[in-house]
């Protein structure tokens, strides 16, 4: 990573670190019962971890983004291969990258609420969870007013009481079948091997990857660019995760 890129990433992520230290969450909008306008529609508290489709099929999901360095190339790779993915948006990042969020929506990808400050929800009350999720969705809709938010994913997979709250707001809780652990390394060879091997062993998977700005994600993008065309040539399809509404 170049010096200028490291400096820019520090500038971008500094507000995220500050936001993660805040104890409160933004206030919920008035009302609060049932899905709000533009939400994903009927949902259940069941945490989805598959596409619920048979054969060579998978769903690609990307957390914590977008970021101005790697997300644009990722969007191009997905477009080149005719893949629609799910982007789990971190509210603090959305505030800094509104144009990229609009690009994600314009490209036909699906949005997922990933909370405002990326905090562990396991000890939160339903009221606090609702306030955070509503505030995050409201922020996303300020940027992309007509985009449905079909899913919710809890940071770290620390769900607590959030599945029920998310379902009440019309967002299906979205888990994953496997991750490629791209927080451990950005070695593209390692990540591509993990992605290909685990997909072949687990058809129907929901795959967890990251495009957020807290670190260089070029290895993740390169892994997708290598593996997806190969699998597409073999007849693999990349679909949306199950929605048990």
To the query of whether residue 117 is one of the catalytic residues in this protein, the response is: no
Q: Which of 66, 58, 93, 24 is nearest to 205 (CA)?
A: 58
Per-residue pLDDT at 41: 75
Q: In the numeric block, which tokens belong to residue 228? A: 């997806």
Per-residue pLDDT at 191: 99
To the query of whether residue 210 is one of the catalytic residues in this protein, the response is: yes
Pick the catalytic residue: 182, 210, 211, 242?
210
Q: Which of 62, 19, 5 is nearest to 215 (CA)?
A: 5
H or E stretch at 168: helix 162-168
Quickly state the pLDDT bin for 229 (edges 50, 70, 90).
Answer: very high
17 pLDDT exceeds 60? no
Per-residue pLDDT at 33: 39
Our CA dihedral for 66, 67, 73, 79, rounded to 10 degrees, sits at 10
Q: Say which residue, 127 or 31, is predicted with more confidence.
A: 127
216 pLDDT exceeds 80? yes
36 pLDDT exceeds 70? no
Q: In the numeric block, which tokens belong to residue 2? A: 């170049």
Residue tagged 């992309």 (tokens): 144
What are the domain boundaries of the chain? Answer: 40-238
Distances (CA, A) of 87 to 24, 233, 236: 25, 24, 20
pLDDT in tens, 82-125: 999 999 999 999 999 999 999 999 999 999 999 999 999 999 99
DSSP per-residue letters across 115-166: -SS----TT--HHHHHHHHHHHHHHHHHHSTT--EEEE--GGG--TTHHHHH
Per-residue pLDDT at 39: 62
Which residues, listed in sequence order, are joined to residue 62 by a DSSP beta bridge? 87, 209
pLDDT, average across residues 157-168: 98
Contacts of 192 (CB under 8 A, 6+ apart): 222, 223, 226, 227
Give me the CATH topology for the region 40-238.
TIM Barrel (3.20.20)
Q: CA 131, CA 118: separation in Å to the nearest integer?
A: 14
Strands (E), the chain: 57-65, 86-89, 110-113, 149-152, 172-173, 178-179, 205-210, 237-238
Q: What's the pTM value of the predicted model, to 2 decimals?
A: 0.86
- Is residue 204 within 8 A of residue 51, CB to CB? The reply is yes
56 pLDDT exceeds 60? yes
Q: Which of 150, 133, 162 is nearest to 86 (CA)?
A: 150
Pick the catalytic residue: 63, 92, 211, 242?
63
Mean pLDDT of the chain: 89
CB contact burial 112-146 (16+ within 10 A = b; e otherwise): bbbbbbbbebeebeeebbbbbbbbbbbbbbebbee
């Amino acid at each position: 990573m170049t010096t200028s890129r490291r400096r820019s990433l520090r500038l971008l992520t500094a507000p995220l670190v500050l936001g993660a230290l805040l104890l409160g969450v933004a206030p919920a909008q008035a009302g609060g019962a049932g899905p709000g306008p533009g939400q994903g529609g009927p949902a259940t508290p069941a945490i989805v971890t598959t596409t619920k489709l048979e054969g060579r099929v998978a769903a690609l999901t990307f957390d914590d983004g977008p970021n101005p360095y790697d997300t644009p190339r990722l969007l191009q790779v997905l477009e080149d291969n005719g893949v629609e993915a799910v982007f789990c948006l971190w509210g603090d990042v959305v505030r800094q990258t509104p144009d990229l969020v609009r690009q994600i929506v314009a490209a036909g990808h699906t949005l997922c609420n990933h909370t405002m400050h990326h905090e562990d929800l396991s000890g939160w009350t339903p009221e606090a969870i609702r306030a955070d999720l509503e505030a995050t969705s409201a922020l996303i809709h300020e940027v992309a007013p007509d985009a449905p938010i079909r899913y919710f994913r809890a940071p770290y997979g620390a769900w607590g009481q959030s599945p029920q709250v998310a379902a009440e707001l019309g967002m299906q809780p979205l888990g994953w079948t496997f991750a490629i652990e791209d927080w451990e390394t950005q070695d593209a060879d390692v990540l591509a091997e993990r992605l290909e091997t685990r997909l072949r062993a687990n058809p129907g998977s929901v795959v967890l990857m990251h495009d957020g700005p807290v670190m260089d994600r070029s290895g993740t993008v390169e892994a997708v660019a290598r593996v997806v065309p190969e699998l597409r040539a073999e007849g693999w399809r990349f679909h949306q995760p199950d929605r048990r509404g």
